[in-house]
Chain A
Amino acid sequence: MNNRIKSLFAQKQKGLLSVYFTAGFPSLNDTETVILELEKNGVDLIEVGMPFSDPLADGPTIQASSTVALKNGMTISKLFEQLKDIRQKTQIPLVLMGYLNPVMQYGVERFCQKCAEVGIDGIILPDLPLREYVEDYKELFEKYNLSKVFLITPQTPEARIREIDSHSNGFIYMVSSASTTGKTAGLAEQSQVYFQRVAGMQLQNPGVIGFGIHDKETFAAACNHASGAIIGSAFVKALQQEGSLQENISSFIQSIKN
């Protein structure tokens, strides 16, 4: 079966731009507009955030966008409804990112089935541990042809990185430094050492760097060490600027790429 994430990385090994946004933010029904506009501006992969009331791994920007999205009435059911015709309009790889509890309440199998139905390619659930995934859910994810994307950090031991690599099918999300999302201190010296260490491991899955990537410089720096990079908080901030959604998206993405 074709999986758009695998096709993407087969075609493009360098300089990939992945963008995260919170579904239901700034307005409930912006999901499709944001996706299509990101594609139009040359983004390679999109992570659609499923908002959660208690996003432990996120900093203030994504927390605030999640709160707004939930107030707007965003739910997983609503999101699938918004995405039901998306594959008639775009073939960009789409990854859903969120926390385990809402997915568990929706029903994990029902969730995977719906993902396959609307054309989702991958899932990121930071608080679903590797062991529980392998024991309880891996079969299900594979049945529905979904790439499960895991995070690694500078503190992840080499043996565990190899284990994560062996259970991943898509890409590995390399968290740039020990932090929640949205820190803008730039990429520290230690991060470079960690990127090089992982690059030297010759993993079967490509790596994409995220957390702290917020402008042209940090994007370029991250791309030197991996297949690409992910921008989240900085993009969510850009969506809050005055002006139309289209203009905000276009000017932000162009500021990264050019």
Chain B
Amino acid sequence: MSYHVNEKGFYGKFGGAYVPEMLYPNVEELRQNYLRIIQEPDFQEELQHLLKDYVGRPTPLYFAPRLSEKYNTKVYLKREDLNHTGAHKINNTIGQVLLAKRLGKTRIIAETGAGQHGVATATVCALMGLECIVYMGEVDIERQAPNVARMKMLGARVVPATSGSKTLKDATNEAIRDWINNPEDTYYIIGSVVGPHPYPDMVARFQAVISEEMRVQLLEKEGTELPTYVVACVGGGSNAAGAFYHFLDELEVQLIAVEAAGKGIDSGESAATSILGRDGIIHGSRTLLMQTVDGQVTEPYSISAGLDYPGVGPLHAHLFESKRARFMSATDDEALQAVLELTRLEGIIPALETAHALAVLERLQAKPDETVIINLSGRGDKDLSTYLKHFHFDEQ
């Protein structure tokens, strides 16, 4: 079984490029050029230089002693939260902006949910001196205000998406419409492993640096490159794709994808796509999708804006169907508890998205001699107002 994209852009039956003809030339231009450009020595040189000196890679693989003690196993945290801009998202935006420049594009658009991808895009656009427009759901603009402020500070224009659930899905629709209307000068930096081929593969490749480093770092610490478990949260699934990438063909490594259950799988307010979704098409890709019997996309819910998405990347749909990855989920409350736990045990405040991955640690029942790597995809600064309110610290 292959877990990599085939020459037609599919992972098993999932993936492809189901785009209107208006987008065909853009997507095709990218498909024909992305591998060639990424492999060019001067591209790699510039990418590696920026990842090291600008982003701050490699990020540490931190052995978490108190968390390990509590769960009686060996827990390592891959510190993507220590990247410049505070999450893994910049690994991808650096790569794509370099690609956009080589394709001669001058205007950059992006969608964002939690705002981490928006900030990471605005950051690289400032760095490269490119115009930047970020689409963001109206609801998300409200609940992720610090990131909106950062994007504006960086010179990006933040455009509210006001249709549908006014969250990540709708922001993506608006970004795609912008691209249809501006086919010549515009490059669309998608922030997750979603969208038409080649985006899922391209984004996974740029995020793959996470698992590449994990292997080297774990070898130093444990004498083996292979952990027992790799755990990551999944909305669209970019941090999970990066954390899983170099372990996909190492079948003894258990890959754990954690979705947002929202208020509970059966509550009607959830974003657990692998359980609630069916084979369908969203944003140019065939994948698992939350939808009605009639094929209308349903509005997901999660307290975490970054996981509030009705689909999942086609790679993950394939990992789910082929049972290569185990899918779990965590509710809003479980995620919030995990935030407090990590904060008080290790002195690290994680993002709400990331906390979903931490929340399944107890249920994993890992043994004392096993190793668990949790991809700590982002830091919690953007979520502080939610945390203060939920834990009533603002009343103390």
Q: Which residues from chain A sit less than 8 Å from chain B, CB to CB?
A: 52-54, 56-57, 59, 63, 67, 70, 75-77, 99-106, 126-129, 131-132, 150-153, 155-157, 160, 175, 178-180, 183
Task: Give the distance to chain A from B11, nearest Cβ to Cβ, in Å.
Answer: 15
CB closest chain-B residue, reference A127: B18
Are A100 and B281 within 8 A (Cβ)?
yes
B181, closest chain A residue (CB): A179
Which B residues are in CB contact (< 8 Å) with A100? 18, 281
B22 touches A101 (CB 8 A): no
The answer to whether the Cβ of B280 comes within 8 Å of any Cβ in the partner chain is yes
Query: Contact between B177 and A53 (Cβ–Cβ < 8 Å)?
Result: no
Residue B40 interfacial (CB < 8 Å): no
CB neighbours (8 Å) of A76 from chain B are 294-295
Q: Could you jot down 7 A-B contacts, CB within 8 Å?
A: A53-B164, A54-B297, A63-B163, A75-B294, A100-B18, A105-B294, A106-B295
> Which listed residue (B177, B278, B296) contacts A52, Cβ 8 A?
B296
Q: Provide the residues of chain A in CB contact with B22, threshold 8 Å.
A: 57, 151, 153, 155, 175, 178-180
Residue B169 at the chain A interface, CB threshold 8 Å = yes
Instruction: Pick from A63, A152, A155 the residue with the most CB of B within 10 Å.
Output: A155
Contact with A along B183-194 (1 / 0, CB 8 A): 110000000000
Give the Cβ gap from A121 to chain B, nearest Cβ, in Å: 21
Answer whether A70 and B296 are a contact pair too, CB < 8 Å, given A56-B20, A57-B180, A179-B181: yes
Q: What's the nearest-Cβ distance from chain A to residue B157, in Å?
A: 19
> Which of A101, A132, A156, A175 makes the CB contact (< 8 A) with B280?
A101
Nearest-Cβ distance from residue B173 to partner chain A, whole angstroms: 6
Residues in A with CB closer than 8 Å to B293 are 105
Cα separation A70 to B184 with both chains bound (whole Å) = 34
Chain B residues with Cβ below 8 Å from A103 are: 295
* Contact A129 B19, CB 8 Å, known A54-B173, A102-B294, A102-B295: yes
Q: At the interface, yes or no: B58 with Cβ under 8 Å from chain A?
A: no
Q: Are B291 and A180 in contact (CB under 8 A)?
A: no
Within B169-185, which residues are at the interface with A (CB < 8 Å)?
A: 169, 173, 176-177, 180-184
B18-59 vs A, Cβ < 8 Å mask (1 yes, 0 no): 111110110000000000000000000000000000000000
Q: Smallest CB-CB separation from A78: which chain B residue? A: B294
Residue B282 at the chain A interface, CB threshold 8 Å: yes
Contact of B24 among A99, A156, A180 (CB under 8 A): A156
Q: Is the CB of A179 within 8 A of B280?
A: no
For B282, the chain A residues whose CB sits under 8 A away are 54, 101
| 9 closest residue pairs by CB, A with B | A105-B295, A102-B295, A126-B20, A151-B21, A53-B296, A155-B25, A57-B20, A75-B294, A101-B281
Residues of B close to A153: CB separation below 8 A: 21-22, 25, 183
B60 sits at the interface (CB 8 A): no
Q: Could you say which of B21, B182, B279 has the most chain A C-beta atoms within 10 Å of its C-beta?
A: B21
Judged by a CB distance under 8 angstroms, whether B355 is at the interface is no
Given contact pairs A101-B291, A105-B294, A127 touches B24 in the complex (Cβ within 8 A): no
Q: Report if B118 contacts A (CB, 8 A).
A: no
Least CB distance from A111 to B in Å reads: 11
- Complex contact B289–A127 (CB within 8 A): no
Q: Is there contact, CB below 8 Å, between B18 and A132?
A: yes
A62 nearest CB across to chain B (Å): 12
Q: Which residues of A contact B18 (CB under 8 A)?
A: 100, 127-129, 132
Name the one of B21, B25, B295 contacting A126, with C-beta atoms under 8 angstroms. Answer: B21
Interface residue count on the B side (C-beta < 8 Å): 35
Q: Is B155 in the interface zone, CB < 8 Å from A?
A: no
Q: How far is the CA of A104 from the CA of B18 in the complex (A)?
A: 12
Given A101-B280, A128-B18, A179-B180: 11 more A-B contacts, CB < 8 Å: A57-B22, A76-B294, A101-B282, A102-B296, A105-B291, A129-B18, A132-B16, A155-B183, A178-B184, A180-B22, A183-B181
Give B186 Cβ to nearest chain A Cβ, in Å.
10
Residue B264 CB within 8 A of the other chain? no
Cβ A156 vs Cβ B21 within 8 A: yes
Asked if B156 is at the interface of the complex by the 8 Å CB criterion, the answer is no
CB distance from B291 to the nearest CB of A (A): 7
A54–B180 CB distance below 8 A? no
**Contact status A178-B183, CB under 8 Å:** yes
**Chain B neighbourhood of A59, CB < 8 A:** 177
Complex alpha-carbon distance, A11 and B79, angstroms: 69
CA distance A150 to B282 in the complex (A): 20
> Which of the listed residues A54, A127, A157, A175 has the most CB atoms from chain B within 10 Å of its own CB?
A54
Task: State whether A105 touches B280 (Cβ < 8 A).
Answer: yes
Closest residue on chain A to residue B279 by CB atoms: A104
Residues on A with C-beta less than 8 A from B297 are 53-54, 101
> Shortest CB–CB separation between residue B72 and chain A, in angstroms?
46
List the A side residues contacting B16 at CB < 8 Å.
Answer: 129, 132
B17 at the interface (CB under 8 A from A): yes
Which residue of B is nearest A51, CB measured? Answer: B296
Beta-carbon nearest neighbor of A73 in chain B: B294
Does B284 reach chain A (CB closer than 8 Å)? Answer: yes
> A104 to B278, alpha carbons, bound, how many Å?
11
**Contact in complex: B281, A156 (CB < 8 Å):** no
Q: Closest Cβ of chain A: how far from B194's Cβ, in Å?
A: 13
Beta-carbon contact of A178 and B295 below 8 Å:
no
Which of B20, B25, B176, B282 has most A Cβ within 10 Å?
A: B20
Shortest beta-carbon distance from A71 to chain B in Å: 11
| Contact partners of B180 in chain A: CB under 8 A | 56-57, 178-180
A127 / chain B contacts, CB cutoff of 8 Å: 18-20, 281, 284
Closest to A98 in B: B295
Shortest distance between the CB of A224 and any CB in chain B (Å)? 23
Complex formed: what's the CA distance from A63 to B176 in Å?
14
In angstroms, Cα B22 to Cα A151, docked, is 8
Q: How far is the CA of A127 from the CA of B280 in the complex (A)?
A: 12
Contact yes or no, B183 A104, CB < 8 A: no
Most A CB contacts (10 A, CB to CB) among B16, B19, B284 go to B19
Contacts of A77 in B (CB 8 A): 294
Please measure, in the bound complex, the distance between the C-alpha atom of A11 and the C-alpha atom of B18, giving whole angstroms. Answer: 35
